Amino acid sequence: MKAQAITPPARATRTAMLSRRQISLLVLAAAVPLIAVLPLPDFWIAQLNYIGLYSLTCLGLVLLTGIGGLTSFGQAAFVGIGAYTTAWLTLNTGISPWLTLFIGLGITAASALVLALITLRMSGHYLPLATIAWGLSLYYLMGNIDALGKYDGLLGLNSLSFFGVDLGQGRGFFVLTWAIVLALAAALLNLLDSRAGRAIRSLSSGAHMAESMGISTFRYKVIIFLIAALFASVSGWLFAHFQRTVNPSAFGLKMGIEYLFMTVVGGVGHVWGALTGAALTKLLDDQLQVLLPRLIGTSGSYEVIVFGIALVMMLKYQPDGLWDFVARRLPHPQREVDWADAPALPESAKPAAGELLLDVRAVRKEFGGLVAVNDVSFQVRAGEIVGLIGPNGAGKSTTFNLVTGVLPLTSGAVAFRGQTISGRRSRAIARCGIARTFQHVKMIPDMTVLENVALGAHTRGNKGVLSAMTRVDRAEERSLFKEAQRQLERIGMGPWLHELAGNLPMGPQRLLEIARALCSDPALLLLDEPAAGLRHKEKLALIEVLRQLQREGMTILLVEHDMDLVMDVCERLVVMEFGTLLMEGTPREVQQSPEVRAAYLGTEH
């Protein structure tokens, strides 16, 4: 038996997402050779070349900053590594530029990895400051090394040639540059539409949610930092052979800020925003340098003032960039459902009814001198719905976080299916078979319901970033989406499959979290105040879902303030007060307890 389906509001028919993406790429790919043969002035071909070079670095910033939430001002330094590597090697060793590309990528990856391991554990403003320091350090390093020509740089590089054909600085170079731009844009789109991409998109929503899904947030931060650095290095390699000279001025902090400016203006959260921002900024910069001195009557870098004002206005009135203005007016695409015949994901062995699943033994949590949880012990057996209740401030959510590894224990131990799990990270605990929801709903608003739920199955897949970028992960993706659809239909959310999660009312949002947790194939489901903010009919739907899950053998530990719901669905209650265990018993025993009534209602004295 499945929960009654909740019907979403009617909406217009949509086109298939993958088809529209393919059409967009095909149109752009066809435009590149067309532009190359059109009788455009060489000046405009050169402008398009610069736009392509800037777009490569901005694509990396879309992934790093717009999707991953990591702000970097140091991307120009990675451009410099790629440029100086090919310049020095081709001038001093005669190595083919096509080989120096890969050598530069290797050096960039090594330096980016070292920098990532040092800085990516920082939070707040410390990471941007660290990237500024990195950019400045490399700029002055490049400007003070004799072998690199100091601030004069390296001169006399050869242009690129392909099978004996000199690409020069015009149309041949244009075709190469934009072929690389479109290939990397397609790879980035593929990545974002994958298991790894969903993990990357979860980074900006907070580590707790991602880690509870079994995702190593630090690992994915390092990955996107490396990808952004490699994109910048490719731009530097092309830049060196386009300019045929390399000096530090093109790789300083000023350019690092400009790359970020381009990305923000175009749309830092959109792949096509990178190209939009690079094009608009480059074209306006050139035009303003000519027009403003004429209008003002004196020379000067007035375009910087205009760009500063434009950025302030953009952040106030269009903070998601120009491409977001376009994207919001396009119909949101519906994914093509092509996984009906996909193989089901393997499932773990489930515990027998009555088996001891969770054993919480004298857990204690101190915050300085405050004891939030004071030696609390209780057990949960397979097939039960156990309620963890108590007044506000009783320590329920803290106990939840101790069980799931979000907070470390001060003392005590937690065992799951006979194995001690206390001391493990939350992602390791999730892989053991424990899934959870949150007191405040945590989801990714700009992903569909289906994609949000598929995130819960992250630990049940194994395809990585390279498989995603080259799109050889499609078989696994179909199995993941099939499982996500099954769990949504299991709790009556099937009709919401392609709706953006940010458009959901509170009730379906709570059910989405439950479906996402179920997608990880758990043996124990932890629900943190799932009825909070729900209306009466939504609570009735939730009660039916919980009863159905119990009939199917799911074990549930429930933190909830709604006593009607708790007394209706729970077989046993654990009552806490001021961080201590007040009592444990059946709902009837708890209702009749004078201590519990005093804890909730107070006493006369």
Taking only the tens place, the pLDDT of each residue in 238-256 is 999 999 999 998 898 889 9
81 with 107: CB under 8 angstroms? yes
Return the sign of the alpha-carbon dihedral for residues 256, 258, 262, 264. Answer: positive
Name the packing angle between helices 97-119 and 217-243 (round to 10°): 140
- The better pLDDT of the pair 395, 302 is held by 395
- pLDDT value of position 187: 94
134 with 74: CB under 8 angstroms? yes
- The whole-angstrom separation of Cα 417 and Cα 422 is 13
Tokens standing for residue 60: 């990396």
Residues of the chain with CATH 3.40.50.300: 353-433+522-605
Name the packing angle between helices 253-266 and 271-296 (round to 10°): 110
- The whole-angstrom separation of Cα 550 and Cα 542 is 12
Measured distance between the N- and C-terminal CA atoms of the chain, rounded to whole angstroms = 51
Alpha-helical regions (H) of 433-473: 449-454, 465-469
Q: How confident is the model at residue 277 (pLDDT cuts 50, 70, 90)?
A: very high
Secondary structure element (H or E) that encloses residue 273, with its range: helix 271-296
Show the 3-state SS of 467-533.
Answer: HHHCCCCHHHHHHHHHHHHHHHHHCCCHHHCCCEHHHCCHHHHHHHHHHHHHCCCCCEEEEECCCCC
Across 280-290, b (16+ Cβ under 10 Å) vs e yields bbbebbeebee
- The CATH fold of domain 353-433+522-605: Rossmann fold (3.40.50)
What ranges make up the beta strands (E) of 383-460?
Answer: 385-389, 411-416, 419-420, 434-436
Spatial neighbors of 174 by CB under 8 A, at least 6 apart, are: 32, 35, 36, 45, 48, 49, 52
pLDDT digit string, tens, across residues 126-136: 888 888 998 89
Q: Are strands 370-381 and 356-367 parallel, antiparallel or unpaired?
A: antiparallel
The 8-class DSSP code of residue 69 comes to: -
Distance of CA 295 to the CA centre of its chain: 45
Among 494, 516, 320, smallest CA distance to 435 is for 516
Among 270, 356, 367, 358, smallest CA distance to 321 is for 270
Among 485, 481, 464, smallest CA distance to 190 is for 464
Phi, psi of 583 (to 5 degrees): -165, 170
Q: Are strands 385-389 and 555-559 parallel, antiparallel or unpaired?
A: parallel
pLDDT at 601 over 70: no
Mean pLDDT over 77-90 rounds to 95
pLDDT at 13 over 80: no
Q: What percent of the chain has pLDDT over 70?
A: 94
Q: How confident is the model at residue 18 (pLDDT cuts 50, 70, 90)?
A: very low
pLDDT digit string, tens, across residues 193-216: 999 999 999 998 777 888 988 999
Mean pLDDT over 553-576 rounds to 89
Phi, psi of 222 (to 5 degrees): -65, -40
The number of helices, as runs of H, and strands, as runs of E, in the chain is 23, 14
- The whole-angstrom separation of Cα 285 and Cα 337 is 45
- pLDDT value of position 6: 57
pLDDT at 467 over 80: yes
- pLDDT value of position 325: 83
Q: Are strands 165-166 and 370-381 parallel, antiparallel or unpaired?
A: unpaired
